[in-house]
Structures are given as structure tokens and as C-alpha cells.
């Protein structure tokens, strides 16, 4: 190759300075691990693709920053960007399983109810509640200079077990999305757990309805073992379950627009899944979903084997004595907190419970908490309080076991939690 004057000058300069070319470090790839927690979903891990085999990893060598944005609405500045704390780093495979030597490193990131930067969703008050947002990490190794800023995918350990493609049309007017789980390798017929979400999880993406609260826990090995395998159905309202026919909210005083479509969707799902035991269909929900749970019981009291309701939003004044009598034989377990300012217990669950009790309900229970606290003990235990509306925290973790009088709930003389109680019921 003929050397031009410019090229000759550059080569001479490099030779004179004894400078060797410094290779550029390409942007690396990472995968997000998103888990469901008591307060909602959190990015708990990230898995880094390494340029070569490694045998060790130190958390102190990595810095992780996050940017959170959305076209749906504005995210407060303090929640839009910042640093993520790295708790631990270890060599792994591409799924995050620990190895002595490998081409991936997994970083365990700090998550907590008071760490909004750890959440991949955001609540938008005027735009339909909780939504997935643009969640981007920038990770740097301070020793090597390697940067990872290209996401290649997300793993959502329990949510990924659901079929999220469910759609049901009713009278060509209403379309309900839903998430569904089918228990594997089930030989006998299995019960069906139905969960109706709260007001912040409506829309057309049922993954939000399943992980916005910790409903994904229903497909965990621990929960499934209680039922020896159970179907799980999580319907989603296009707006909110308490959407009245007049356009606003109803607490029971006016008709809502979704109860007929929802009941039709449930029956359609059961008919298309012959593995479901029709005598063991359990209906539950929180807040908006607690309203709709009670509404469906009032409409069809003979269809469900039992019900479990948190943060009931149906106001007692709109339930007649005849309606109370019509559901007195339906096994129901209520869960609520005394400091719930959203669904005030003295207007909802307390009078409904007392009226059912007075009507002679034979299988009625009520776990009534002073506050909703950190049941993990990690974030302060009894000294850390969630919003009093969040009594579903106890329900999804199967922590409810005391009745209204403070005594344990029993089935055949044995103390039970709420899920063991459900599993014992059949029509």
C-alpha cells in the first residue's frame, strides 16, 4: 500500500510517542428480572452478558443507574432517574443460576416499598392507574470500564407462567382481557381461583392485573400445593369494575356496566376448560374487585363455592335485607384494615358482616387488622405501615388466620389460613 504524506506523518507520530491503539469497549447487553412483591412489581436483578469467561464478580465494582419515563404522563423528578443499590454480584448462567465460571454476571438490586426507582410500573391518577413504563438501566464496571446499556429481554418468574393473551367479547360491546394459569400434570379435576383487581389495574394488559398486586403468588409452588394444583383466572376491566351505567363510580346504588359481561366470561372460561371442578370455583377481589365479587354473589349466589374479599367497596346501605338473606349460605371470608380511608369499614365491611351474622350465616369469617404492616420484617415489621387500604397484602401471602373475635379460624378442628379454608370448600 502506498503511503500518503498524511498517513506517513500519523505512523511516525505513533512510533515516536510509542502509543498503542486502545480498543473501544462495546456496549453490553443485560436482562431484567421482575418479581412481584407485597407493594407491587420490582426490578430485583439484572443479568449481564460478559465479553469473556469470568470466575468472580464483586458488587463494589458495579454502578447501576436507572431512568424511568413514560409517554402516558409525567413521572416526578425524584422518581425519574437515580442510582440503584447493588446488594450482591455473582457469576451465573443466562438465567441467573450461580456458576463457578461463566459468561454472565447477575447483580442483585435493592428493592423496597419506599424505593420507587426499583419499580417498572407507575401509577397515573388521571390516565387509568398502573402502567408499565420505559425502564432503562446503565451499568458500569469501574475496574474494566465495561458498560451495559442494551436490554435484551425481561424475565418475570411467576407472571411468565400465565397465558396473558385471553380476550372475551360480550354482545360485541364489551371486550374483557384476562390472564389465566393452567396447573400442569393435573390428573383429577382442579379448583378455580378467580381474582378481581382493584381500581388501579384496569385496561387491556392483564399482566398489570396479575402483578400490580401480588396475585402472581397464586401460581407459586407453595400456594398451588394447598389446592393440589389450581386454575387461576384474573379478568381485567377495560376501565374499573365500579364503572356505573351513568359513567362515574357506583358503590352499589346504581348498576355497573361490567357484571353481566364478567359473569359470562367466567362461565365461558369454565366451559372451555373441562379440567375445572365446577363445584370448587372460588371468587375473590380487592376494593373495586371486592365490590364486584359481592355483586356477582348477589346475582348468582349458587354458582361459587366460596368467596374471599379484601377492602370491600360495596356500601352496606345499598344491600337490601332480602339480598343479605340470599347470600347468607355462601362461605365468605372478609379481610380489611381499620384505618382504611378509601373503603371505610364502617360503611362497607363491618355492617355487611354484622348483617350476615345476624341473618345466621354459618360459614362467615372476618380478619380485621389495626393497620397493614410489613409482614416480611425486612422493612420495619410492625413499625412499617402501608396504606390502610392495602389489606390484600395479608390475603395474597396467605397470612389471614384470625377471625373477627381474635380466635383462629378452624376447619374440622384444625387451625387454617385463608387459602386452606378455601381449599376445604365444595358445593
150 and 51 both lie in a single domain = yes
Residue 19's pLDDT is what? Answer: 40
In a domain, 304, yes or no: yes
**pLDDT of amino acid 128:** 72
% of the chain beyond a pLDDT of 70: 94
Average pLDDT over the chain, rounded to whole? 93
Q: What is the pLDDT of residue 185?
A: 87
Task: Let me know whether 347 and 220 are in one domain.
Answer: yes
Whether residue 131 is found in the same domain as residue 277: no
Q: Domain of 252?
A: 159-423
pLDDT-wise least confident of 5-9, 108-112, 206-210: 5-9
Q: Give domain status of residue 45, yes or no.
A: yes
pLDDT at 21 over 50: no
Judgement on whether residues 139 and 211 belong to the same structural domain of the protein: no
Is residue 102 domain-shared with residue 217, that is, in the same domain? no
* pLDDT at residue 5 greater than cutoff 90: no
Looking at the fold, whether 213 and 254 belong to one and the same domain comes out as yes
Q: What is the pLDDT of residues 205-255, one digit of tens each?
A: 999 999 999 999 999 999 999 999 999 999 999 999 999 988 899 999 999
What is the reported pLDDT for 10?
40
Residue 55, by phi and psi: left (phi above 0), alpha (psi -120 to 50) or beta?
alpha
Let me know whether 151 and 178 are in one domain.
no
Using 50, 70 and 90 to split pLDDT, how confident is the model at 2?
very low
The CA-based angle 405-411-416, given to 5 degrees, is 70
Q: Is residue 21 part of a domain?
A: no
Residue 126 pLDDT level (bands cut at 50, 70, 90): confident
Look at residue 52 and tell me if it is in a domain: yes
- Residue 72 belongs to a domain with what CATH number? 2.60.40.2180
357 and 239 inside one domain = yes
Evaluate whether 245 touches 174 at the Cβ level (below 8 Å). Answer: no
Region 188-198: what's the mean pLDDT?
97
Confidence of residue 330 (pLDDT cuts 50, 70, 90): very high
What value does the mean pLDDT take over residues 249-269? 97
Query: Rounded to the nearest 5°, which phi and psi values hold at 184?
Result: -80, 150
* 137 and 252 part of one domain: no
- Residue 320: what are its φ and ψ, rounded to 5°? -80, 165
Predicted confidence at residue 127, as pLDDT, reads 64
pLDDT digits (tens, 9 = 90+) for 74-109: 999 999 999 999 999 999 999 999 999 999 999 999
Q: Contact at 8 Å (CB) between 86 and 137?
A: no
Other C-beta atoms closer than 10 Å to the C-beta of 372 total 24
CA separation for the pair 168, 269 (Å, rounded) = 9
Q: What is the dihedral of CA 219, 223, 227, 228, to 10 degrees?
A: 80
* SS3 label, residue 289: helix
Question: Has residue 8 been placed in a domain?
Answer: no
Long-range contacts for 218-225 (Cβ within 8 Å, ≥24 apart)? Answer: 218/181, 218/193, 218/396, 219/158, 219/161, 219/162, 219/181, 220/158, 222/398, 223/398, 223/419, 224/183
The verdict on 41 and 78 lying in the same domain is yes
Q: Which tens digits make up the pLDDT trace of 41-74?
A: 999 999 999 999 999 999 999 999 999 999 999 9
Helix (H) or strand (E) holding 114, with range, is: none
> Does the residue 19 lie in any domain?
no
Q: Residue 193 domain-assigned?
A: yes
Which of 127, 155, 183 delimits the end of a domain? 155
Full-model pTM? 0.92
- 3-state helix/strand/coil string of 201-231: CCCCCHHHHHHCCHHHHHHCHHHHHHHCCCE
Tens-digit pLDDT profile for residues 127-181: 679 999 999 999 999 999 999 999 999 999 999 999 999 999 999 889 999 999 9
Predicted confidence (pLDDT) at residue 389 exceeds the cutoff of 80: yes
Range of weakest confidence among 9-23, 105-119, 182-196, 384-398: 9-23
**Domain count of the fold of the chain:** 2
Q: What's the confidence (pLDDT) of residue 14?
A: 39
Q: Rounded mean pLDDT of 185-192? A: 91
Residue 363 lies in a domain: yes
Tell me the percentage of the chain whose pLDDT exceeds 90: 91
Choose the final residue of a domain: 123, 155, 187: 155
**Residue 244: which of 307, 318, 336 has the closest Cα?**
318
342 and 390 share one domain:
yes
Nearest residue to 116 (alpha-carbon basis) of 155, 153, 81? 81
Residues 115 and 172 in one domain: no
Task: Tell me which of 126, 155, 184 is where a domain ends.
Answer: 155
pLDDT at 1: 44
Higher local confidence (pLDDT), 249 or 126: 249
CATH number at residue 234: 3.40.50.1820
Amino acid at each position: 500500500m502506498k503511503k500518503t504524506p498524511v498517513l506517513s506523518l500519523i505512523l511516525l507520530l505513533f512510533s515516536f510517542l510509542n502509543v498503542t491503539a486502545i480498543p473501544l469497549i462495546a456496549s453490553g447487553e443485560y436482562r431484567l428480572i421482575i418479581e412481584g412483591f407485597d407493594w407491587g412489581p420490582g426490578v430485583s436483578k439484572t443479568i449481564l452478558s460478559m465479553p469473556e469467561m469470568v470466575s468472580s464478580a464483586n458488587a463494589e465494582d458495579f454502578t447501576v443507574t436507572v431512568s424511568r419515563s413514560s409517554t402516558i404522563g409525567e413521572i416526578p423528578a425524584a422518581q425519574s432517574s437515580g442510582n440503584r443499590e447493588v446488594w450482591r454480584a455473582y457469576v451465573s448462567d443466562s438465567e441467573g443460576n450461580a456458576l463457578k465460571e461463566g459468561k454472565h454476571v447477575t447483580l442483585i438490586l435493592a428493592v423496597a416499598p419506599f424505593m420507587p426507582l426499583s419499580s417498572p410500573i407507575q401509577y397515573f391518577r388521571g390516565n387509568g392507574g398502573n402502567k408499565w413504563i420505559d425502564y432503562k438501566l446503565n451499568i458500569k464496571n469501574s475496574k474494566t470500564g465495561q458498560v451495559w446499556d442494551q436490554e435484551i429481554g425481561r424475565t418475570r418468574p411467576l407472571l411468565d407462567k400465565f397465558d396473558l393473551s385471553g380476550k372475551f367479547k360480550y354482545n360485541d360491546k364489551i371486550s374483557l382481557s384476562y390472564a389465566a394459569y393452567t396447573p400442569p400434570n393435573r390428573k383429577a379435576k382442579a379448583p378455580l381461583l378467580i381474582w378481581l383487581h382493584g381500581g388501579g389495574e384496569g385496561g387491556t394488559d392483564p399482566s398489570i392485573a396479575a402483578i400490580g398486586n401480588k396475585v402472581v403468588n397464586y401460581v407459586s409452588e407453595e400456594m398451588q400445593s394447598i389446592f393440589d394444583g389450581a386454575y387461576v383466572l384474573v379478568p381485567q376491566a377495560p376501565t374499573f369494575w365500579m364503572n356505573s351505567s351513568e359513567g362515574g363510580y357506583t358503590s352499589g346504588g346504581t348498576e355497573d356496566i361490567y357484571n353481566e359481561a364478567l359473569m359470562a366470561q367466567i362461565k365461558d372460561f369454565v366451559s372451555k376448560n373441562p379440567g375445572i371442578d365446577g363445584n370448587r370455583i372460588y371468587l375473590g377481589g380487592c376494593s373495586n374487585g371486592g365490590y364486584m365479587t359481592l355483586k356477582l354473589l348477589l346475582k348468582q349466589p349458587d354458582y361459587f363455592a366460596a368467596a374471599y374479599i379484601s377492602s370491600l367497596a360495596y356500601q352496606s346501605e345499598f344491600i337490601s335485607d332480602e339480598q343479605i338473606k340470599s347470600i347468607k349460605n355462601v362461605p365468605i371470608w372478609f379481610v380489611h384494615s381499620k384505618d382504611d380511608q378509601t373503603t371505610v369499614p364502617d360503611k362497607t365491611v363491618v355492617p355487611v358482616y354484622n348483617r350476615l351474622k345476624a341473618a345466621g350465616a354459618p360459614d362467615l369469617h372476618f380478619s380485621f387488622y389495626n393497620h397493614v404492616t410489613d409482614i416480611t420484617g425486612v422493612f420495619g415489621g410492625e413499625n412499617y405501615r402501608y396504606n390502610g387500604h392495602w389489606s390484600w397484602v395479608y390475603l395474597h401471602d396467605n397470612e389471614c388466620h384470625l377471625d373477627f373475635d381474635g380466635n383462629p379460624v378452624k376447619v374440622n378442628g384444625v387451625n387454617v389460613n385463608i387459602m386452606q379454608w378455601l381449599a376445604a370448600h365444595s358445593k
